[in-house]
Structure 1
């Protein structure tokens, strides 16, 4: 679908954001993103984790 599309990266801090278009910079930023994505839980594992956390630390309703 996007065979010739160029990859760009949006980098954001608490103060500003920047669109990175330079290929070498995009490549450097893509590797850490890929590593974090590979470590992420699957949607099912995420749901189970959240449910477990809610059971272990239930919230008391406030009035």
Structure 2
């Protein structure tokens, strides 16, 4: 995962997945294959509160 700022990460896979953290919750922008889920705890995420799909792709 690439950290862009204190609360923003990018995860590159089938598409770029962005994680916007708010405390222990987050907003996922796109989800790719779903592999992002196994990395969220490492950055302190306990719950995905929202998912925003920006367009149709393989996720």
- Interval of TM-score (by shorter of Structure 1 and Structure 2): under 0.3
- In our comparison, the structure showing a higher alpha carbon Rg is 1
Normalising by the residue count of structure 2, what TM-score does the alignment of the two structures yield?
0.27
Query: Which structure has greater helix proportion?
Result: 1
State the TM-score, normalizing by the size of structure 1.
0.26
Higher RCO, 1 or 2 (CA under 8 Å, sep at least 6)? Answer: 2
